[in-house]
Amino acid sequence: MQRWVGIVVLSALSFLAHANEPLPGDIVRDLNGLQSQLAEQPSDEADSDVLMRIISHARSQAARLASGNRADQWASALYHQLAASGLVRQGDHIAAAAELASAQQRLSVPNSQVLRWLRDEATLRRAGNQRTEAIALYEQWLTQSQGNPHYDESAWRLVRLLAQEERWDDAVEWLSPLLQKGGFTDSQQALTTAVLRNAGQNEQAVGWLVDGLNEHSEPDAWRQAAGLAQQAGQADVAAGVWEMAWQLGKFTALEDRLTLIRLHLAGGTPARAGEHLEAAIQEGELTPDEETLRLLAGAWQQARHIEKALGAWKALAENTQKAQDFRQYGQLAYRWGKDDQAKEAFIKAVNLGDAQAEQWLSNF
């Protein structure tokens, strides 16, 4: 931040000294001399005494010329800019910002230069942790600078500042035009998600995240999109996002597969959950224990796949040897018109001491 601002302030000075109101030769030589002295100071190891002399002289000249004619005021503004550059080298961003604010007030300064200094002042206020002031300056600059090549960069800075101040609705207002342009960095994506979520626009956040996913997206981006979809009550979208990530090889761990299964069950696609469970069992990722078989039976029952559901319930009951599992298997078979299977299940439940199963057997 410090080096960038210093370069901006210094690089414009030599050109500006000859570009606006004609200045006396001694003023031009003095300005260029001070600029040269600043340029000779290493960014990381500047001589504090030299910097203080440059800043003090620039401030003195700026004050002396402030009430003069248009050329004097232009020179005063340039001295303020030069003092700001020296203060940036010292790490005093707030004092540097004050110098640029004074420079903008000189009557002979053209609007184009005022806007450049306005943006630099906003950057300095931001670096000095004066968020409220920086926000106001960025808003002022952006309002007057449509089409400027630095517009998007400054708009993102403003959105981040507003987010830091938890002014979520204001952040969304400045963010919305940026969302239509695409090409975001990882930090911009994270910021966008945070702003939309905290502004209560979860559905928009989900849509934006999902639209931005592709085969090159990192696993965390897929996780974030699925998680946000869940929070927004869009379980089906969450399942779809996780499924796509799984198919692309973004997720490979068993826990990821179990999450996918749970998402399909919650999202209204239980048959897909059943398919994943069967595949995991066949591939040896899951053992056909009680927990797995119960999950499989529930998935196929929810999907109303009669043969697979009854097969899974039978396997579960035989695994657990619990009377209530045989009874539930029998009830499901009876409901779906599979009388032979139902009767067999109820008999086993009765043999295991289930009194309720005896009542069901009376139907045969």
Whether the per-residue pLDDT at 184 is higher than 90: the answer is: no
Q: pLDDT tens digits, residue range 160-176?
A: 999 999 999 999 999 98
CB–CB of 196/205 below 8 Å?
Answer: yes
Convert the pLDDT of each residue in 297-316 to its tens digit: 999 999 999 999 999 999 99
**Mean pLDDT score of the chain:** 89
Contact 116, 16 (CB under 8 A): no
Q: What is the pLDDT of residue 357?
A: 85
* Residue 149: per-residue pLDDT: 92
pLDDT tier at 218, thresholds 50, 70, 90: confident
Percent of the chain with pLDDT over 70: 93
Residue 294 has pLDDT above 60, yes or no: yes
Q: Is 114 a residue whose pLDDT tops 80?
A: yes
Q: What are the domain boundaries of the chain? A: 1-142+152-169
From the number of C-beta atoms within 10 Å of its C-beta (0-12, 13-18, 19+), residue 335 rates as exposed
Longest distance between any two alpha carbons in the chain, whole Å: 115
pLDDT digits (tens, 9 = 90+) for 60-113: 999 999 999 999 999 999 999 999 999 998 889 999 999 999 999 998 888 989
Contact predicate 262/270, CB 8 Å: no
Question: Which residue type is seen at 153?
Answer: E
Give yes or no for residue 217 having a pLDDT over 80.
Answer: yes
For the segment 131-138, the average pLDDT, to the nearest whole number, is 97
- 219 to 242, 246, 273, 324: CA distances (angstroms): 10, 10, 21, 42
Q: Which amino acid is at 126?
A: R
